[in-house]
Amino acid sequence: MPDPASTAAERAAAALARRRRARLLHPVGRTFSAEVMIWGTPGPPTGVPLFDRPGRWRGTVRLSKGVATPGSWPDVLGLGVRLHRDPESPVDLLMSSSAAPPVLRQLPLPRRRFTGTYSSIMPFRAGRCRLLVAALADPDSPELGRSLAEVSSAVGPDAPRLVLAVASTVGPWRPFGQVCLDGQHGAREDAALAFDPIGNPPAGLRAEGLLAWLRDTTYRGSRRARAASPQSGGSLGVTV
């Protein structure tokens, strides 16, 4: 049974989302199909099969602006990655513009360019370890630009790439895979897409702490306001 604080936070989030008639956070974005290739974590395994074992999946990626500032104005940029694993449930990874050094990787940082470091901000628990997930810039990839319009133009024949990485809260980033963007979806699917990093994590990874609680309740409220489920949108066919 939900506790009173969770219920109140969810209702407040739903009311705010209804008022703005869009997602509570990251209301404006672009959604793309993608290929996700995992080559495995270098060094000691993390205990998370998705990170440690090679694999390849189709994916859906959403790049967005946190408060929808105009054009190329600075904003907290968002990156959502969904791995499709039919008939299993999808895996959702949600990250925000941040910085690579340990002291900054748990802070959302506004910036102009969509190419850069994205961090889960929220640490996860894998066994006895606390881990952060990131998407890092690939130096050999085309730039994504400074606006959502430029992002759309950048996704063409020379597909932009992002490097997936994992780290402890103080350790170095360990690249374990990459995401290649290869085609834009329409506005209808972008509106339907609903990520759930708390309910759809990789096996072996568990969100914990105050930030996880806050994200869970606010995202639930936002989905409730737009009648979206945690599996809405982003499928290989459109789900609404």
Summarised one tens digit per residue, pLDDT across range 159-190 is: 899 999 999 989 999 999 999 999 999 999 99
**182: CATH:** 2.40.180.10
Domain-located, residue 224:
no
The residue whose two tokens read 């374990």 is 176
Within a domain: residue 191? yes
C-beta separation of 66 from 108 below 8 A: yes
pTM of the model: 0.83
Of the pLDDT bands very low, low, confident and very high (cuts 50, 70, 90), residue 75 is very high
Mean pLDDT of the 214-227 span: 56
CB 150 within 8 A of CB 144: yes
DSSP string, the chain: ---HHHHHHHHHHHHHHHHHTS-SS--EEEEEEEEEEE---SSS--S-HHHHS-EEEEEEEEEEESS--STT--B-EEEEEEE--TTSPPEEEEEEE--SSTTTTTS---BS-SSS-EE--S-EEETTEEEEEEEEE-TTSPP--SSHHHHHHH-SSS--EEEEEEEESSS--EEEEEEEEEEEPPHHHHHH----TTTSPPTT-EE-SHHHHHHHHHHHHHHHHTT--TT-S-SSS---
Domain-located, residue 144 = yes
Residue range 129-133: mean pLDDT, rounded: 94
Round to whole Å and give the CA distance between 128 and 86. Answer: 30
- In the predicted structure, residue 219 carries a pLDDT above the cut 60: no
pLDDT score of 61 more than 50: yes
pLDDT at residue 11 greater than cutoff 60: no
In a domain, 68, yes or no: yes
The answer to whether residue 235 sits within a structural domain is no
| Of the listed ranges 110-119, 140-149, 167-176, 190-199, the one predicted with least confidence | 190-199
Mean pLDDT of 138-150: 95
Alpha carbon 85 to chain centroid, angstroms = 17
Q: For the chain, what is the domain count? A: 1
Residue 120 domain boundaries: 26-210
Domain assignment of residue 216, yes or no = no
User: Does 238 have pLDDT greater than 60?
Assistant: no
Is 199 part of any domain?
yes
- Considering the domain boundaries, does residue 54 fall inside one? yes
> Strand pairing partners for 26?
none
